[in-house]
């Protein structure tokens, strides 16, 4: 037996061991024994239970029993801070012989297991970083796809690398059509030339162009955060909505001014009649005073409405400030005519009369 395993005495980083059915060492050799303070002299003739702790023996014994049953088994065993790979197989002189001995080849794989552990940790960190990067990219893409501004990225040759839906709408193209090159949709601004100039100068270009009924602001620059230094970021902003909002605001202000002017004129006309002091008719004076109070309340309602709008902001709808006041009905017009007639009779022209 010894002659069969003499070469194993120099087995590196492990050992070769032969056991009988009592799991007693018949042979033990290899440099790995010396590394853990063991030797062939210490092991041969002793059982596993006489050398190792019960927990370790109970772990390896079932595998060795399977080898005595004719199987070839492989398993790993941890002893302290060391990890070993053990391959056990039956030893037979002839195929029909009973298995009286087995051979167990032990290899110290601690360094390999540590390297695998570090590799798995690095892979885990890489996968986590990749997942985070993909999540950030997905969030960024969602944000870009929902922007009202058109955003696209091109290389210096004008090949479109990215375009959000708003940019596709503003340029009148689909994502598949961008493969043909950067479009030039505007007569007064040559987009491909602007991209080439921006990529060459590493500066920025800004222009305002009109596209049909749409008014656009186009800005090109080469930010440092893009994947390639020569790539150009193009941002297209639709200013038409701002123009429409401004027009709505102008109409609203004109409407508000008109609605405030009417009760103001009525109040001033009634107040001037009262200021003459020549009319002793208490009924007329009472009606004039009531009219002043009524128009004053109307002005207050209009002012309150304007204050509420200033708090919540204007939307695109035009507020309806036309109330159920007295300026628009027939009785008011008749009253204004009466006021004018009375002031004219007294040789005076009030502000209301002059502007009616």
Which residues, including other chains, have CB under 8 Å from residue 310's CB and lie 6 or more apart?
none
Number of domains observed in the structure of the chain = 3
Question: Are 260 and 321 spatial neighbours (Cβ–Cβ below 8 Å)?
Answer: no
Instruction: For residue 128, tell me if it sits in a domain.
Output: no
Domain of residue 315, CATH code: 1.10.287
The angle formed by the CA atoms of residues 88, 51 and 12, to the nearest 5 degrees, is 50
Are 223 and 256 within one domain? no
Query: pLDDT per residue over 226-252, tens digit each?
Result: 767 788 999 998 887 666 666 666 777
Instruction: For residue 115, tell me if it sits in a domain.
Output: no
Task: Give me the domain span that covers residue 340.
Answer: 243-355
Are 248 and 223 within one domain? no
- The residue among 21, 22, 7, 27 whose CA lies nearest residue 90 is 21
Helix (H) or strand (E) holding 329: none
Are 252 and 225 within one domain? no
Domain boundary among 238, 267, 298: 238
Are 233 and 288 within one domain? no
Q: pLDDT higher for 27 or 96? A: 27
Query: pLDDT per residue over 182-194, tens digit each?
Result: 888 888 888 888 8
CA dihedral sign of residues 183, 189, 192, 195:
negative
Domain boundary among 205, 238, 271: 238
Answering whether pTM is above 0.75, one says no
Instruction: For residue 142, tell me if it sits in a domain.
Output: no
Domain of residue 61, CATH code: 3.30.450.20
Instruction: For residue 140, tell me if it sits in a domain.
Output: no
Query: pLDDT per residue over 44-79, tens digit each?
Result: 999 999 999 999 999 999 999 999 999 999 999 998
Are 297 and 343 within one domain? yes
Which residues, including other chains, have CB under 8 Å from residue 295's CB and lie 6 or more apart?
263, 264, 266, 267, 270, 325, 326
Are 101 and 7 within one domain? yes
Q: What span, in angstroms and rounded, lies between the C-alpha atoms of 39 and 15?
A: 10
Q: What is the mean pLDDT of residues 331-347?
A: 48
Query: pLDDT per residue over 152-204, tens digit each?
Result: 888 888 888 888 888 888 887 776 677 667 888 888 888 888 888 888 888 88
**Residue 220, pLDDT above cutoff 50:** yes
Instruction: For residue 98, tell me if it sits in a domain.
Output: yes
| Strands 204-211 and 160-163, bridge-based pairing | unpaired
Question: Are 160 and 167 spatial neighbours (Cβ–Cβ below 8 Å)?
Answer: no
Are 249 and 305 within one domain? yes
Instruction: For residue 121, tell me if it sits in a domain.
Output: no
Are 269 and 332 within one domain? yes
Query: pLDDT per residue over 106-148, tens digit each?
Result: 999 999 999 999 999 999 999 999 999 999 989 988 998 888 8
């Amino acid at each position: 037996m010894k002659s069969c395993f003499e070469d194993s005495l120099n087995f590196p980083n492990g050992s070769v061991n032969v056991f009988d059915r009592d799991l007693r060492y018949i042979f033990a050799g290899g440099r790995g024994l010396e590394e853990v303070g063991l030797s062939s002299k210490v092991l041969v003739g002793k059982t596993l239970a006489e050398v190792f702790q019960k927990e370790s023996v109970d772990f390896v014994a079932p595998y060795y029993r399977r080898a005595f049953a004719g199987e070839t088994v492989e398993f790993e065993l941890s002893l302290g801070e060391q990890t070993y790979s053990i391959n056990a197989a039956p030893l037979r002189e002839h195929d029909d012989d009973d298995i009286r001995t087995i051979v167990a080849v032990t290899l110290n794989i601690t360094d390999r297991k540590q390297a695998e552990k570090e590799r798995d940790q690095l892979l885990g960190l890489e996968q986590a970083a990749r997942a985070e990067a993909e999540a950030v990219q997905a969030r960024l893409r969602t944000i870009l796809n929902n922007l009202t501004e058109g955003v696209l990225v091109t290389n210096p040759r004008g090949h479109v690398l990215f375009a959000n839906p708003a940019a596709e709408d503003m340029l009148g193209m689909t994502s598949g059509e961008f493969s043909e090159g950067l479009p030039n949709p505007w007569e007064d601004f040559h987009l491909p030339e602007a991209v080439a100039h921006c990529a060459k100068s590493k500066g920025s270009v800004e222009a305002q162009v009109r596209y049909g009924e749409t008014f656009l602001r186009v800005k090109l620059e080469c930010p440092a955060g893009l994947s390639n230094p020569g790539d150009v970021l193009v941002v297209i902003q639709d200013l038409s909505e701002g123009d429409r909002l401004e027009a709505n605001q102008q109409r609203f202000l004109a409407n508000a001014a008109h609605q405030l002017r009417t009760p103001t004129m009525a109040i001033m006309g009634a107040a001037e009649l009262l200021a003459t002091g020549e009319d002793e008719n208490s009924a007329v004076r009472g009606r004039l005073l009531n009219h002043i109070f009524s128009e004053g309340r109307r002005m207050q309602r209009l002012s309150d409405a304007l204050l509420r709008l200033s708090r919540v902001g204007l939307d695109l709808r035009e507020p309806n400030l036309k109330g159920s006041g007295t300026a628009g009905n027939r009785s008011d017009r008749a009253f204004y005519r009466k006021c004018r007639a009375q002031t004219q009779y007294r040789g005076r022209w009030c502000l209301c009369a002059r502007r009616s």
